[in-house]
Amino acid sequence: MWQQVLLAETPNWSHLDVLQQFWTHLRMEVGYRTLLHYRLGSCDCWFDDVLGTDNSTALMWNNQTYPHYLRHRQDADILAVSCLRFQQYQEVLLALSAMLDQIRSTPVVLQLCGDEDSNRELNSARLMLKQSQDLKMPNVVLLSWKFVTSGTLYSYEMFPEFKLQTLVYQAYRTLFPYKLGNLQGYPIRTIPDNSEPHTIVQKMWNGSITIKGPVWQLMVEFVKHLNGTLQLPIQPHPERSFKLVEILDLVRNQTVDIAASLRPYSVHVQRSSTHIYGFPMMVGNWCAMLPTERVIGSHEALTRLMESPWTWLVLLLLYGLHRFLVLKTRLRSSLVHLTKLLINLALICFLQAQLSAYFIGPQKVNHIANMQQLEESGLKIRGMRSEFMEYPIDMRIRHASSFLLHDVFFDLAQYRNSFNTSYGYTVTSAKWQLYKEAQRHFRRPLFRYSEDICVQKLSLFSLILQDNCLYRHENKRFILRLHEAGLIYLWYRRSYYVMVTAGRFPIGDLSTVHQAQPIRWSEWQYVVLLYGVGLLFSVLVFVIELTVHYVNVCLNNL
């Protein structure tokens, strides 16, 4: 169980100056605020006597069976210390790695207790620190059991391979140097998921494989930054893409350190697995890519015009104004005649403006703004079957018939990359930049990105990292630098041209060109029909007026 350590004044003993100097060195270099003391009953050491009386929180754990997980309670500025015998090192290191899970870069000071000769102690130190490296604990220092007299301590170099260091303590020495600044060619294992446009696997004419794409470019620059190399444990294939489940399996079985796969944070991932996602590389959403609404025909335009109540209201007002001016004409006023001419001119200008607007911006069918309108329009959305469970539950239950699902990613990509306007498609905002850039070369856009129909309104797109990945914090800093420089946005804009070069994307204007054509006979028939209807309506009105007139004459003659 946890116990608050009672800090008593240190007694005066022979090697107090050395120990106090070392402890002060730790406080100055590490700057810890929480001290974790993993204490074993079978071993006594000087940590119990020199625990500082500063403002740090001192915690002691003496249960060897159930190590406590610290990250959700104490996750920053920790220093871990423990005394152990060589026979206990595996048990102690496993317990510390469990307590410091996801924060294993925490500085750890171990002290050997027990009388051992120099050669045996050196072998013990090598085994213990090699175990620390295997557990991904880079900041471990081991103190000799004769440290207070000889000042001997042990550390290790991680890259390019494990190397034990036997050091003598000096006040100027850095106890926990940063080890990830130079990997010295050490390989970082990765695999591209071949998900366009993030990573593009291409087979060249000579049979070699090349990999391109914004995410792969980031991985290349990242390993250059660390002076490392990229290693592919699995040979990628141009016709194969990795699903999220396959990527997770490769990461969890430690085949891959960092997967070159950009994935949105999944709400269905268990809380214990959220650490597999790295720092967000992009922030966006996951919505639908819908065809732009088609231009309605002349028949539909006239039908809409006649169905609108505003049309009949305007006609009624014009007729009333006309009757009013007819009555005023009897006054023989020149101002009234001028007003009639101005009204006729305004009406002609209004009609001309409407006609010009029709040619400049033709009317389109109703804008699809929700799933109900999508279902009524009959438009189907193509997506991946493996991603269907990520959709909102309302979308899956009530509107499942509006989706066409694929098992193979390249089948979906073939429809989407050809700009087939017969369907809509699910697409992330990161991939939409590719299609947006492609449509800059079109006379008119064929698709729009609808933020009204979304799988996730807010998505964090992250790389998939191995559990307790050594490069997590360095990768975070590197991504922040790329964002500040605007390189990630630039790489995604250029991904269109990369895909065109790789033959994965069509080039040119795929939009339909509208050419001037002679008026068809069907259009003339429609005009004649409208003219006949209008003429019939006028004759009917004229007959009604004559009937009213003659009825009044007959009544006056009676």
Instruction: Confirm if 112 and 124 have CB atoms less than 8 A apart.
Output: yes
- Mean pLDDT, rounded, of the chain: 81
Whole-angstrom distance, CA of residue 170 vs CA of residue 349: 93
**Closest to 105 in 3D by CA, of 473, 440, 360:** 473
For the segment 43-70, the average pLDDT, to the nearest whole number, is 57
**Least confident range of 1-10, 35-44, 414-423:** 1-10
| Percent of the chain clearing pLDDT 90 (strictly above) | 22
Per-residue pLDDT at 306: 65
For the segment 284-294, the average pLDDT, to the nearest whole number, is 86
Per-residue pLDDT at 154: 93
For the segment 515-532, the average pLDDT, to the nearest whole number, is 76
Question: Which helix or strand (DSSP H or E) is residue 156 part of?
Answer: strand 152-157
The more confident residue out of 307 and 237 is 237
Q: Write down the CATH number for the domain with range 182-293+364-509.
A: 3.40.190.10
Chain centroid, CA 202 distance in Å: 24
pLDDT interval class at 41 (50, 70, 90): low
pLDDT interval class at 9 (50, 70, 90): very low
**Closest to 402 in 3D by CA, of 434, 432, 428, 377:** 377
Question: Which helix or strand (DSSP H or E) is residue 303 part of?
Answer: helix 298-307
**Closest to 140 in 3D by CA, of 74, 99, 81:** 81
Whole-angstrom distance, CA of residue 270 vs CA of residue 249: 15
Whole-angstrom distance, CA of residue 137 vs CA of residue 158: 10
At 206-237, the pLDDT tens digits run 878 899 999 999 999 999 999 999 999 998 88
Q: What is the CA radius of gyration of the chain?
A: 39
Sequence-separated (6 or more) residues with CB below 8 Å from residue 193? 199, 241, 242, 247, 259, 260, 261
Highest mean pLDDT: which range of 75-79, 350-354, 357-361, 552-556: 552-556
Instruction: Confirm if 230 and 223 have CB atoms less than 8 A apart.
Output: yes
In the CATH scheme, what architecture does the domain 2-168 have?
3-Layer(aba) Sandwich (3.40)
Coil, strand or helix at 264: strand
The residues facing 465 across adjacent strands are: 258
Write down the domain spans for the chain: 2-168, 182-293+364-509, 298-360
Highest mean pLDDT: which range of 171-180, 295-304, 509-518: 171-180
Per-residue pLDDT at 140: 94
pLDDT interval class at 529 (50, 70, 90): confident
Measured CA to CA in angstroms, residue 133 lies from 128, 137, 274, 298, 468 at distances of 9, 6, 24, 75, 12
pTM: 0.75
Per-residue pLDDT at 10: 38
At 355-389, the pLDDT tens digits run 666 666 666 666 788 888 888 888 899 998 888 88
Per-residue pLDDT at 184: 92
